[in-house]
């Protein structure tokens, strides 16, 4: 994925200024709240339009929302197959959801809902998977299992998080997006 | 006049109330949906004015407008009074349904649309598969209120001389029989009881999920 000179303002307030980066592996986007991390992720996924700049990538992109945005009137399996009718049922077993196939999201725990959201994104076989604050809606004890899950996916994962420790676990590369200095690209490791 | 004869006469009138009720729903629901999309789209200002008029002026006046205006302005009077009632009721109730639909659609979190979008679903597929089923659940209570009100409102058709049940009962009062006028309440109570059971059943059908 190659991102060049992304700028975005909301009503005169600059959210992102001249953000550029390139990655072929997992990338964690970190920084303080309100710094533009989520805005950047939404631009990458096509949910927001940048004022200027380009986003280039090969293949398909998937997105896992902070609050999952599961469809409450559909069962787990219906959520997964709504856009991928030929989804492999093995996905459920892979994510530990085999017994939850016919449950509605309201009957699932936060961790299970997240796994359904991940399964729904994976069902479309994306090449890049975006995660918006994957640990914020979960019990802190689940952080390690989420990191494990992300690392087990054979995808380029772009993860927005405010948790530096979690960022270290899921990505070698980090992009620090800071509200005060707008966007600064820093590499760590890799 | 015997109890049976009064019942027969009142039932004849009530049949018209029922026809008016069913036809009003049949036309006002799709019309309300069209109003809703116009209200949320580019015709917002015009539709706000139209809905303000339809909800802000008495239905009785609207009945007279549909009754007389086409004839006075365009020389095409609507001859059937029952048709006038159906048109006026349908347009009036469409305005209320429009606002109920709009409230329902706007109550669906933006994230639901976005989730559909990132899954590559078309706008139409998002509306049909994701938004609409959730809107139905959310609008049952306000929609139910209108369904109950409409049962009683159908008696207003008497002002343009549609011989519905209340009109039939007032004819008895001219003959010195006052009790049929109060007796009509029984018909409406039975009809609203059926509707209340139906609405409870419908709410139960959507109770399988929270949201």
Q: What is the DSSP string of B123-148?
A: HHHIIIIIIHHHHHHHHHHHHHHHHH
Residue B208: list chain A partners with CB under 8 A. 104
Q: Quick one: pLDDT at residue A67?
A: 93
Average pLDDT over residues A155-174: 91
Average pLDDT over residues A38-50: 93
pLDDT of A63 over the 90 cut: yes
Whole-Å CA distances, A55 to A6, A22, A178, A185: 8, 10, 20, 16
Q: How confident is the model at residue A113 (pLDDT cuts 50, 70, 90)?
A: very high
Q: Quick check: A71 and B115 CB within 8 A?
A: yes
Taking the C-alpha atoms of residue B6 and residue B178, their distance in angstroms, rounded to an integer, is 11
Q: Quick check: B117 and A47 CB within 8 A?
A: yes
Residue B120: list chain A partners with CB under 8 A. 83, 124
Average pLDDT over residues B149-177: 93
- And the tokens for B183? 């007796």
Q: Quick check: A124 and B112 CB within 8 A?
A: no
Task: Pick the residue from chain B with its C-alpha nearest to A124.
Answer: B119
Taking the C-alpha atoms of residue B206 and residue A73, their distance in angstroms, rounded to an integer, is 9
Alpha-helix residue ranges (DSSP H) falling in chain B: 3-40, 44-56, 59-74, 81-106, 110-118, 123-125, 132-153, 165-174, 179-205
Count the neighbouring beta carbons within 10 Å of the beta carbon of residue A84.
18
Q: Which of B2-6, B111-115, B117-121 has the lowest mean pLDDT?
A: B2-6
Average pLDDT over residues A23-42: 89
| Closest Cβ–Cβ partner in B109, B129, B137 for A82 | B129
| Tokens 């006026």 -> residue | B88
pLDDT of A189 over the 50 cut: no
Q: Are strands A156-161 and A61-64 parallel, antiparallel or unpaired?
A: unpaired
Taking the C-alpha atoms of residue B132 and residue B112, their distance in angstroms, rounded to an integer, is 11
Q: Is B74 exposed, middle or buried (0-12, 13-18, 19+ CB in 10 A)?
A: exposed
Q: Average pLDDT of chain B?
A: 94
| Closest Cβ–Cβ partner in A71, A106, A120 for B112 | A71
Average pLDDT over residues B23-52: 95
Average pLDDT over residues A38-67: 93
Taking the C-alpha atoms of residue A142 and residue B59, their distance in angstroms, rounded to an integer, is 59
Q: Quick check: B112 and A105 CB within 8 A?
A: no
Q: Of B4, B6, B3, B17, which Cα lies nearest the Cα of B172?
A: B6
pLDDT of A121 over the 70 cut: yes
Residue A131: list chain B partners with CB under 8 A. none
Q: DSSP character for A65?
A: -
CA distance B32 to chain A (A): 24
Beta strands in chain A (DSSP E): 2-10, 13-22, 27-30, 52-56, 61-64, 128-132, 156-161, 173-176
pLDDT of B99 over the 80 cut: yes
pLDDT of B178 over the 80 cut: yes
Q: How many CB pairs under 8 A join A and B?
A: 52
Taking the C-alpha atoms of residue B1 and residue A42, their distance in angstroms, rounded to an integer, is 76
Q: Quick one: pLDDT at residue A180?
A: 55
Q: Quick check: A82 and B210 CB within 8 A?
A: no
pTM: 0.85
Q: How confident is the model at residue B195 (pLDDT cuts 50, 70, 90)?
A: very high
Q: How confident is the model at residue A179 (pLDDT cuts 50, 70, 90)?
A: low
**H or E segment at A162?**
none
Mutation target among A41, A60, A61, A73 for the B interface, most CBs of B within 10 A: A73
pLDDT of B141 over the 80 cut: yes
Q: Which CATH number fits domain B3-205: 3.40.50.880, 3.40.50.300, 1.10.3720.10, 3.40.50.150?
A: 1.10.3720.10
Q: Of B50, B59, B81, B55, which Cα lies nearest the Cα of B68?
A: B81
Task: Encode pLDDT of A126-162 as tens digits.
Answer: 999 999 999 887 777 788 888 988 998 889 999 999 8
Q: DSSP character for B42?
A: T
Q: Quick check: A73 and B137 CB within 8 A?
A: yes
Q: Are strands A61-64 and A2-10 parallel, antiparallel or unpaired?
A: unpaired
Residues of chain A that touch chain B, judged by Cβ-Cβ distance less than 8 Å: 45-47, 61-63, 65, 67, 69-73, 82-83, 104-106, 120-121, 124
- Per DSSP, the three-state class of A30 is strand
| Tokens 């609405």 -> residue | B199
Task: Encode pLDDT of B38-85 as tens digits.
Answer: 999 988 999 999 999 999 999 999 999 999 999 999 988 898 999 999
pLDDT greater at residue B92 or residue A141: B92
- As a whole-number percent, the residues of chain A with pLDDT over 90 amount to 54
Q: Average pLDDT of chain A?
A: 88
| Tokens 């990338």 -> residue | A27
Average pLDDT over residues B150-178: 93
Taking the C-alpha atoms of residue B119 and residue A116, their distance in angstroms, rounded to an integer, is 14
**Residue B156 and residue B63 in contact, taking contact as beta carbons nearer than 8 Å:** yes
| Closest Cβ–Cβ partner in B111, B119, B133 for A67 | B111
Q: Quick one: pLDDT at residue B48?
A: 96
pLDDT of A186 over the 50 cut: no
Q: How confident is the model at residue A188 (pLDDT cuts 50, 70, 90)?
A: very low
Q: Of B130, B59, B54, which Cα lies nearest the Cα of B97?
A: B54
Residue burial B100-110, b: 16+ Cβ < 10 Å; e: rest = bbbebbeebee
Q: Of B71, B65, B70, which Cα lies nearest the Cα of B89?
A: B65
Task: Pick the residue from chain A with its C-alpha nearest to B137.
Answer: A73
Q: Quick one: pLDDT at residue A177?
A: 85
Q: Quick check: B119 and A124 CB within 8 A?
A: yes
Average pLDDT over residues B129-147: 95
Long-range contact pairs involving B126-130 (C-beta distance under 8 Å, separation at least 24):
B129/A82, B130/A71, B130/A82
pLDDT of B179 over the 60 cut: yes
Q: How confident is the model at residue A187 (pLDDT cuts 50, 70, 90)?
A: very low
| Closest Cβ–Cβ partner in B114, B120, B137 for A83 | B120
ipTM above 0.85, yes or no: yes
Q: Quick check: A69 and B117 CB within 8 A?
A: no
Task: Pick the residue from chain A with its C-alpha nearest to B109.
Answer: A69
């Amino acid at each position: 994925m190659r991102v060049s000179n992304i700028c975005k303002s909301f009503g005169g307030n600059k959210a992102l200024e001249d953000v550029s980066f390139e990655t072929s592996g997992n990338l964690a986007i970190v920084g303080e709240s309100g710094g533009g991390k989520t805005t950047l992720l939404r631009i990458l996924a096509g949910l927001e339009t940048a004022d200027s700049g380009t986003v280039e990538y090969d293949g398909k992109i998937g997105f896992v929302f902070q609050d999952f945005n599961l469809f409450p009137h559909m069962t787990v399996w219906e959520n997964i197959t709504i856009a991928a009718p030929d989804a492999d049922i093995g996905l459920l077993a892979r994510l530990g959801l085999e017994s939850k196939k016919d449950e509605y999201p309201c009957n699932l725990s936060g961790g299970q809902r997240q796994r359904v959201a991940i399964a729904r994104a994976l069902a479309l076989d994306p090449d890049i998977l975006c995660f918006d604050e994957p640990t914020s809606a979960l019990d802190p004890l689940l952080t390690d299992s989420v990191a494990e899950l992300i690392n087990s996916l054979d995808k380029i994962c772009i993860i927005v998080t405010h948790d530096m420790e979690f960022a270290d676990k899921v990505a070698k590369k980090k992009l620090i997006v800071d509200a005060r200095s707008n966007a600064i690209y820093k590499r760590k490791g890799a | 006049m015997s109890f049976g004869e009064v019942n027969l006469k009142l039932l004849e009138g009530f049949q018209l109330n029922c026809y008016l009720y069913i036809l009003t729903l049949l036309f006002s629901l799709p019309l309300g949906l069209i109003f809703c999309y116009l209200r949320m789209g580019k015709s917002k200002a015009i539709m706000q004015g139209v809905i303000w008029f339809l909800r802000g002026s008495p239905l009785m006046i609207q009945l007279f407008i549909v009754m007389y205006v086409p004839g006075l302005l365009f020389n095409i009077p609507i001859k059937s009074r029952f048709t006038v009632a159906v048109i006026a009721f349908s347009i009036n109730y469409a305005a209320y349904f429009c606002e109920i639909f709009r409230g329902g659609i706007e109550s669906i979190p933006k994230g639901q649309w976005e989730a559909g979008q990132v899954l590559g679903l078309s706008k139409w597929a998002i509306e049909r598969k994701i938004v609409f089923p959730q809107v139905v659940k959310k609008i049952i209570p306000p929609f139910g209120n209108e369904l109950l009100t409409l049962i009683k409102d159908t008696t207003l058709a008497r002002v343009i001389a549609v011989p519905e049940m209340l009109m039939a009962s007032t004819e008895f009062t001219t003959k010195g029989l006052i009790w049929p006028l109060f007796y009509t309440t029984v018909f409406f109570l039975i009809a609203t009881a059926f509707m209340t059971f139906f609405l409870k059943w419908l709410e139960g059908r959507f109770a399988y999920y929270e949201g």
